[in-house]
Structure 1
Amino acid sequence: MLGLGELEASVMDVLWDAAEPLRVRQVLDELNRHRDLAYTTVMTVLDNLHRKGWVVRDLENRAYRYRAVTTRAEATARSLREVLDSVDDRESVLLHFVSTVSEEESDVLRRALRRKPKKR
């Protein structure tokens, strides 16, 4: 994801995969299946993600529970939008992108474009 460091992205993946908001300890336990992180490290990352607007937190029994503000799909779409907004030649970028999509992805794009109302 644009704007996220590697650990921030890993924390977001845990939150996106969760069925409910998680406490720091729950995020830590999930992340530590593949690495060895300190509780304070994960707490700091979650605090930074909250400050950046990626997560919201609710206080429950003296501990925060964290959840993602947007879905993974919405965040990915926002990243794609930021990439397009950062280049001068959007047409060229879009044409190169379209040349890489599968037939199935092409069908999805066509359907989405047919449903999109035209701006006036």
Structure 2
Amino acid sequence: MRQRNTSLGDLERVVMDTLWSHGPELSVRDVMDHMGGEKDLAYTTIMTVLDRLAKKGLADRTRDGRAWRYTAASSREELAATALRSTLENVQADRKLAMVHFLDDASPAEIDDLRAALAEVERRHG
């Protein structure tokens, strides 16, 4: 799997949300049409954002005549997992301690979700 820069700016996040919600294979114009409240943005701005997302490995693109069609390279959940994994890999100190600090602020529902996720992983890996 190629290394991806998972950090997103505000507009990149809106564009990725559009790809996830209305994709696959959206043109720049399609993205603009689906963005709703962001109508005042220039075509070239959205084109630049999509190009940047493709260069980061977060969107895939295919040629369609003279234009490009864009698809999210991974799901929201896969991108979140990649970002979490990358953050934990960059912890210079104790990774377990970093996780404990993170979980100290977790709600009971988040802890339940974590338990369910761990049970699913254990089920898959026997």
TM-score between the two structures when normalised by the length of structure 1: 0.81
**How many pairs are equivalent?**
118
Q: Which residue of 1 aligns with 2:98?
A: 93
Letter in 2 for 1:109: L
Letter in 2 for 1:114: A
TM-score between the two structures when normalised by the length of structure 2: 0.78
Structure 1 vs Structure 2 CA RMSD: 2.3
Q: Which residue of 2 aligns with 1:17?
A: 21
Q: Which runs of 5+ in 1 are unaligned?
A: none
Task: Please give the per-residue CA displacement for 1:78-105, whole angstroms capped at 9, x wherever unaligned.
Answer: 1111111121232222112222222222
Helix, strand or coil for the counterpart of 1:27? Answer: helix
Task: Please give the per-residue CA displacement for 1:4-26, whole angstroms capped at 9, x wherever unaligned.
Answer: 22222221111111143211012
Within 2, Cα distance between the matches of 1:60 and 1:35?
24
Letter in 1 for 2:26: L
Q: Which residue of 2 aligns with 1:60?
A: 64
Q: Which residue of 1 aligns with 2:45?
A: 41
Contact persistence 2:23–2:72 (CA under 8 A): no
Q: Which residue of 2 aligns with 1:104?
A: 109
